Structure 1
Amino acid sequence: MSIVDITTDEGRIAEPGWLARAEEVHRELRPQLPEEYVEKMQRVFAGGARMSVAVDDDAVLGVAVWRVYEDTSIGRKLYVDDLVTTESARSEGVGQTLLTWLEARARKLDCRALTLDSGVQRARAHRFYFREGLSVFAFNFRRDL
Protein backbone atom coordinates (compact mmCIF):
# COMPACT_ATOMS: atom_id res chain seq x y z
CA MET A 1 0.00 0.00 0.00
CA SER A 2 1.19 3.51 -0.80
CA ILE A 3 -0.12 7.06 -0.43
CA VAL A 4 -0.66 9.21 -3.51
CA ASP A 5 -1.22 12.97 -3.39
CA ILE A 6 -4.00 13.77 -5.84
CA THR A 7 -3.55 17.53 -5.48
CA THR A 8 -0.59 19.89 -5.67
CA ASP A 9 0.32 22.30 -2.88
CA GLU A 10 -1.53 24.95 -4.88
CA GLY A 11 -4.73 22.89 -4.95
CA ARG A 12 -4.60 21.79 -8.57
CA ILE A 13 -5.57 18.23 -9.50
CA ALA A 14 -2.29 16.48 -10.28
CA GLU A 15 -3.68 12.97 -10.64
CA PRO A 16 -7.10 13.06 -12.39
CA GLY A 17 -7.14 9.29 -12.85
CA TRP A 18 -6.74 8.70 -9.11
CA LEU A 19 -9.40 11.33 -8.38
CA ALA A 20 -11.84 9.44 -10.61
CA ARG A 21 -11.06 6.20 -8.76
CA ALA A 22 -11.33 7.92 -5.37
CA GLU A 23 -14.89 9.12 -5.98
CA GLU A 24 -16.58 5.80 -5.20
CA VAL A 25 -14.70 5.42 -1.91
CA HIS A 26 -15.31 9.07 -0.97
CA ARG A 27 -19.04 8.58 -1.54
CA GLU A 28 -19.07 5.79 1.06
CA LEU A 29 -18.62 8.58 3.63
CA ARG A 30 -20.33 11.41 1.72
CA PRO A 31 -23.12 9.93 -0.44
CA GLN A 32 -24.67 13.39 -0.77
CA LEU A 33 -21.78 14.69 -2.89
CA PRO A 34 -23.16 16.07 -6.17
CA GLU A 35 -23.10 14.15 -9.42
CA GLU A 36 -20.59 16.75 -10.67
CA TYR A 37 -17.96 15.32 -8.32
CA VAL A 38 -14.86 16.69 -10.05
CA GLU A 39 -16.28 20.21 -10.21
CA LYS A 40 -17.24 20.05 -6.53
CA MET A 41 -13.79 18.85 -5.54
CA GLN A 42 -12.13 21.57 -7.64
CA ARG A 43 -14.03 24.16 -5.58
CA VAL A 44 -13.05 22.41 -2.33
CA PHE A 45 -9.40 22.29 -3.42
CA ALA A 46 -9.52 25.98 -4.45
CA GLY A 47 -10.53 26.69 -0.84
CA GLY A 48 -7.32 25.14 0.48
CA ALA A 49 -8.15 21.43 0.76
CA ARG A 50 -5.91 18.66 -0.48
CA MET A 51 -6.64 15.00 -1.21
CA SER A 52 -4.42 11.99 -0.66
CA VAL A 53 -5.38 8.38 -1.25
CA ALA A 54 -4.18 5.00 -0.02
CA VAL A 55 -3.73 2.73 -3.02
CA ASP A 56 -2.90 -0.89 -3.69
CA ASP A 57 -1.97 -1.56 -7.30
CA ASP A 58 -4.65 0.42 -9.17
CA ALA A 59 -7.31 0.33 -6.43
CA VAL A 60 -8.12 3.19 -4.07
CA LEU A 61 -8.56 1.76 -0.57
CA GLY A 62 -8.85 5.01 1.39
CA VAL A 63 -9.35 8.74 0.92
CA ALA A 64 -8.19 11.68 3.03
CA VAL A 65 -9.30 15.25 2.36
CA TRP A 66 -7.29 17.64 4.50
CA ARG A 67 -6.06 21.21 4.83
CA VAL A 68 -3.54 23.21 6.82
CA TYR A 69 -4.50 26.49 8.40
CA GLU A 70 -3.84 28.63 11.43
CA ASP A 71 -6.39 29.67 14.03
CA THR A 72 -6.37 31.44 17.39
CA SER A 73 -6.95 28.39 19.60
CA ILE A 74 -4.26 25.96 18.46
CA GLY A 75 -2.20 27.82 15.91
CA ARG A 76 -1.10 25.99 12.78
CA LYS A 77 -2.91 22.68 12.37
CA LEU A 78 -3.72 20.01 9.85
CA TYR A 79 -7.48 19.52 9.76
CA VAL A 80 -8.92 16.35 8.23
CA ASP A 81 -12.19 17.09 6.41
CA ASP A 82 -12.79 13.47 5.40
CA LEU A 83 -11.09 10.17 6.20
CA VAL A 84 -12.66 7.02 4.80
CA THR A 85 -11.59 3.46 4.05
CA THR A 86 -13.57 1.44 1.55
CA GLU A 87 -15.87 -1.00 3.35
CA SER A 88 -14.12 -4.08 1.92
CA ALA A 89 -10.74 -2.98 3.34
CA ARG A 90 -11.77 -1.79 6.81
CA SER A 91 -9.79 -3.14 9.77
CA GLU A 92 -6.88 -3.95 7.44
CA GLY A 93 -4.66 -1.00 8.39
CA VAL A 94 -5.69 1.44 5.66
CA GLY A 95 -7.07 4.07 8.03
CA GLN A 96 -4.09 3.69 10.33
CA THR A 97 -1.71 4.11 7.38
CA LEU A 98 -3.51 7.25 6.22
CA LEU A 99 -3.64 8.71 9.73
CA THR A 100 0.07 8.02 10.30
CA TRP A 101 0.87 9.61 6.93
CA LEU A 102 -1.27 12.66 7.78
CA GLU A 103 0.50 13.06 11.12
CA ALA A 104 3.90 12.91 9.40
CA ARG A 105 2.72 15.50 6.87
CA ALA A 106 1.47 17.73 9.70
CA ARG A 107 4.85 17.54 11.43
CA LYS A 108 6.65 18.29 8.16
CA LEU A 109 4.43 21.36 7.69
CA ASP A 110 5.18 22.59 11.25
CA CYS A 111 1.67 22.01 12.57
CA ARG A 112 1.01 21.89 16.30
CA ALA A 113 -1.92 19.45 15.99
CA LEU A 114 -3.89 17.15 13.73
CA THR A 115 -7.64 17.65 14.19
CA LEU A 116 -10.85 16.29 12.74
CA ASP A 117 -14.57 16.17 13.39
CA SER A 118 -16.53 12.93 13.44
CA GLY A 119 -20.31 12.71 13.38
CA VAL A 120 -21.87 11.66 16.68
CA GLN A 121 -23.43 8.63 14.95
CA ARG A 122 -20.06 7.20 13.82
CA ALA A 123 -19.28 4.99 16.83
CA ARG A 124 -17.00 2.68 14.83
CA ALA A 125 -14.93 5.66 13.67
CA HIS A 126 -14.75 6.97 17.25
CA ARG A 127 -13.36 3.64 18.47
CA PHE A 128 -10.75 3.81 15.70
CA TYR A 129 -9.71 7.38 16.60
CA PHE A 130 -9.46 6.57 20.32
CA ARG A 131 -7.41 3.45 19.52
CA GLU A 132 -5.10 5.62 17.39
CA GLY A 133 -4.49 8.00 20.30
CA LEU A 134 -6.76 10.90 19.37
CA SER A 135 -8.82 12.50 22.11
CA VAL A 136 -11.95 14.62 22.34
CA PHE A 137 -10.89 18.19 23.08
CA ALA A 138 -13.94 20.28 22.13
CA PHE A 139 -17.58 20.15 21.12
CA ASN A 140 -18.49 21.21 17.59
CA PHE A 141 -21.74 23.16 17.37
CA ARG A 142 -23.65 24.18 14.28
CA ARG A 143 -26.85 25.79 13.12
CA ASP A 144 -28.08 24.88 9.65
CA LEU A 145 -28.97 27.92 7.56
Structure 2
Amino acid sequence: MIASTEKIIELIDHDQYLEAFPILKQLRTDLTEEGYLELLKQMKQNGYKLFALYNENRIVALTGVGLQVNFYNKKYVFVYDLVTDKEHRSKGYGYKLLSHIEKWAKANGAEFVALESGIQRTNAHRFYEEKLNYNKWCYSFRKPI
Protein backbone atom coordinates (compact mmCIF):
# COMPACT_ATOMS: atom_id res chain seq x y z
CA MET A 1 0.00 0.00 0.00
CA ILE A 2 1.23 3.48 -0.86
CA ALA A 3 1.75 5.78 2.12
CA SER A 4 0.01 9.17 2.18
CA THR A 5 3.28 10.97 1.36
CA GLU A 6 3.80 8.75 -1.71
CA LYS A 7 2.35 8.98 -5.20
CA ILE A 8 3.05 7.35 -8.55
CA ILE A 9 2.63 9.40 -11.71
CA GLU A 10 3.51 9.14 -15.38
CA LEU A 11 6.12 11.74 -16.26
CA ILE A 12 5.02 13.75 -19.27
CA ASP A 13 6.96 17.02 -19.49
CA HIS A 14 10.51 18.25 -19.91
CA ASP A 15 10.95 19.43 -16.31
CA GLN A 16 9.83 16.04 -14.98
CA TYR A 17 12.24 14.28 -17.34
CA LEU A 18 15.10 16.45 -16.09
CA GLU A 19 14.12 15.70 -12.48
CA ALA A 20 14.18 11.96 -13.26
CA PHE A 21 17.56 11.93 -15.01
CA PRO A 22 19.84 11.69 -11.91
CA ILE A 23 17.88 8.66 -10.70
CA LEU A 24 17.86 6.91 -14.10
CA LYS A 25 21.59 7.60 -14.48
CA GLN A 26 22.16 5.38 -11.42
CA LEU A 27 20.98 2.49 -13.61
CA ARG A 28 22.12 3.69 -17.04
CA THR A 29 25.52 5.07 -16.03
CA ASP A 30 26.68 5.72 -19.60
CA LEU A 31 23.93 8.27 -20.32
CA THR A 32 24.52 11.96 -20.60
CA GLU A 33 21.62 14.32 -20.00
CA GLU A 34 21.61 15.31 -23.69
CA GLY A 35 21.70 11.67 -24.83
CA TYR A 36 18.97 10.74 -22.36
CA LEU A 37 16.63 13.47 -23.62
CA GLU A 38 17.23 12.56 -27.26
CA LEU A 39 16.71 8.83 -26.69
CA LEU A 40 13.65 9.52 -24.52
CA LYS A 41 12.10 11.59 -27.32
CA GLN A 42 12.57 8.71 -29.77
CA MET A 43 11.43 6.06 -27.29
CA LYS A 44 8.25 7.98 -26.46
CA GLN A 45 7.38 7.93 -30.18
CA ASN A 46 7.42 4.12 -29.85
CA GLY A 47 5.14 4.11 -26.80
CA TYR A 48 7.70 4.28 -23.96
CA LYS A 49 6.26 5.63 -20.71
CA LEU A 50 8.22 6.74 -17.66
CA PHE A 51 6.59 6.41 -14.23
CA ALA A 52 7.98 7.85 -11.00
CA LEU A 53 7.25 7.04 -7.39
CA TYR A 54 7.47 10.21 -5.33
CA ASN A 55 7.90 10.32 -1.58
CA GLU A 56 7.45 13.74 0.00
CA ASN A 57 7.51 15.35 -3.47
CA ARG A 58 10.86 13.79 -4.41
CA ILE A 59 11.41 11.00 -6.95
CA VAL A 60 12.64 7.90 -5.14
CA ALA A 61 12.08 5.27 -7.87
CA LEU A 62 11.49 5.13 -11.62
CA THR A 63 10.33 2.61 -14.17
CA GLY A 64 10.22 2.89 -17.93
CA VAL A 65 7.76 0.60 -19.70
CA GLY A 66 6.13 -0.01 -23.04
CA LEU A 67 2.94 -1.76 -24.05
CA GLN A 68 3.97 -4.34 -26.66
CA VAL A 69 2.46 -7.10 -28.80
CA ASN A 70 4.16 -10.19 -30.18
CA PHE A 71 3.35 -13.82 -30.99
CA TYR A 72 4.69 -15.39 -27.80
CA ASN A 73 3.52 -12.88 -25.14
CA LYS A 74 0.49 -11.53 -27.02
CA LYS A 75 -0.25 -8.11 -25.48
CA TYR A 76 2.15 -7.36 -22.63
CA VAL A 77 4.07 -4.65 -20.84
CA PHE A 78 7.85 -4.70 -21.09
CA VAL A 79 9.82 -3.10 -18.26
CA TYR A 80 12.88 -1.46 -19.79
CA ASP A 81 14.10 0.35 -16.71
CA LEU A 82 13.56 -0.02 -12.98
CA VAL A 83 15.68 1.84 -10.47
CA THR A 84 15.34 3.06 -6.91
CA ASP A 85 17.48 5.99 -5.80
CA LYS A 86 20.55 4.67 -3.96
CA GLU A 87 19.54 6.70 -0.87
CA HIS A 88 16.14 4.96 -0.73
CA ARG A 89 16.78 1.31 -1.54
CA SER A 90 15.30 -1.59 0.45
CA LYS A 91 12.25 0.45 1.48
CA GLY A 92 9.75 -1.30 -0.79
CA TYR A 93 9.64 1.36 -3.51
CA GLY A 94 10.56 -1.01 -6.34
CA TYR A 95 7.86 -3.41 -5.19
CA LYS A 96 5.26 -0.62 -5.06
CA LEU A 97 6.24 0.69 -8.49
CA LEU A 98 6.13 -2.72 -10.18
CA SER A 99 2.84 -3.53 -8.45
CA HIS A 100 1.46 -0.29 -9.92
CA ILE A 101 2.73 -1.28 -13.38
CA GLU A 102 1.08 -4.69 -13.08
CA LYS A 103 -2.27 -2.99 -12.38
CA TRP A 104 -1.69 -0.52 -15.22
CA ALA A 105 -0.81 -3.41 -17.55
CA LYS A 106 -3.98 -5.29 -16.66
CA ALA A 107 -6.09 -2.15 -17.13
CA ASN A 108 -4.56 -1.82 -20.62
CA GLY A 109 -5.40 -5.39 -21.61
CA ALA A 110 -1.96 -6.91 -21.14
CA GLU A 111 -1.55 -10.60 -20.34
CA PHE A 112 1.99 -10.36 -18.91
CA VAL A 113 4.61 -8.04 -17.53
CA ALA A 114 8.07 -8.98 -18.80
CA LEU A 115 11.55 -7.66 -18.08
CA GLU A 116 15.20 -8.48 -18.58
CA SER A 117 17.89 -8.31 -15.94
CA GLY A 118 21.67 -8.52 -16.30
CA ILE A 119 23.18 -11.93 -15.50
CA GLN A 120 25.27 -10.43 -12.69
CA ARG A 121 22.27 -8.88 -10.87
CA THR A 122 21.52 -11.83 -8.59
CA ASN A 123 19.92 -9.68 -5.88
CA ALA A 124 17.52 -8.22 -8.45
CA HIS A 125 16.69 -11.73 -9.69
CA ARG A 126 15.88 -12.84 -6.16
CA PHE A 127 13.65 -9.76 -5.75
CA TYR A 128 11.74 -10.48 -8.98
CA GLU A 129 11.30 -14.18 -8.21
CA GLU A 130 10.74 -14.20 -4.45
CA LYS A 131 8.99 -10.88 -3.79
CA LEU A 132 7.07 -10.40 -7.03
CA ASN A 133 6.56 -13.99 -8.25
CA TYR A 134 8.13 -13.45 -11.67
CA ASN A 135 9.22 -16.59 -13.52
CA LYS A 136 12.65 -16.94 -15.11
CA TRP A 137 11.59 -18.39 -18.45
CA CYS A 138 14.13 -17.56 -21.15
CA TYR A 139 17.54 -16.16 -21.98
CA SER A 140 18.02 -12.98 -23.94
CA PHE A 141 20.89 -12.71 -26.41
CA ARG A 142 22.44 -9.84 -28.33
CA LYS A 143 25.39 -9.32 -30.65
CA PRO A 144 27.18 -6.05 -31.40
CA ILE A 145 27.21 -5.30 -35.13
TM-score (norm 2): 0.90
Name the CA distance, whole Å, in 2 between partners of 1:52 and 1:80: 11
Q: In the alignment, what sits opposite 1:84?
A: 83
State whether structure 2 residue 73 is matched by structure 1 residue 68: no
> Quick one: which amino acid aligns to residue 33 of structure 1?
L
Question: Identity of aligned pairs, percent?
Answer: 25
Q: CA deviation at 1:126?
A: 0.9
Once superposed, which parts of structure 1, at least 4 consecutive aligned residues long, lie more than 4 Å away?
none
CA RMSD after TM alignment = 1.1
For residues 108 and 76 of structure 1, the distance between their equivalents in structure 2, rounded to whole angstroms, comes to 12
Output one character per residue of 1:15-53: Cα deviation in whole Å (capped at 9) or x when no partner. 322211110010010011233022221111112211000
Name structure 2 gaps, 5 residues minimum. 1-5
Matched, 1:21 2:19: yes
Secondary structure of the 2:25 match is: helix
Does the Cα contact within 8 Å between 2:21 and 2:33 map onto a contact in 1?
no
For 1:31-110, what aligned pairs fall within 5 Å after superposition? 31-36=29-34, 37-110=36-109
Per-residue deviation, 1:110 = 0.7
In the TM superposition, 1:129-140 aligns within 5 A as 129-131=128-130, 132-140=132-140
* Aligned equivalent of 1:128: 127
* 2: CA distance, partners of 1:38 / 1:103: 26
Deviation for aligned residue 1:66: 0.3
2:80, 2:115 within 8 Å by CA — same for their partners in 1?
Answer: yes
Unmatched 5+ stretches in structure 1: 7-13
Q: Distance in 1 between matches of 2:38 and 2:27?
A: 18
Is the Cα–Cα contact under 8 Å of residues 73 and 112 in structure 2 kept in the other structure?
yes
Contact 1:18–1:60 under 8 Å retained in 2: no
What letter corresponds to residue 54 of structure 1 in structure 2?
L
Please report the TM-score for the alignment, with normalisation by the length of structure 1.
0.90
Q: 1:123 to 1:83 in 2, by over 3 A?
A: same
Task: Give the distance between the partners of 1:92 and 1:18, measured in 2 at CA.
Answer: 23
CA contact (8 A) 2:9 2:53 kept: yes
* Post-superposition CA distance 1:33-92 (Å, at most 9, x none): 233022221111112211000111221101110000110011000000001111111110
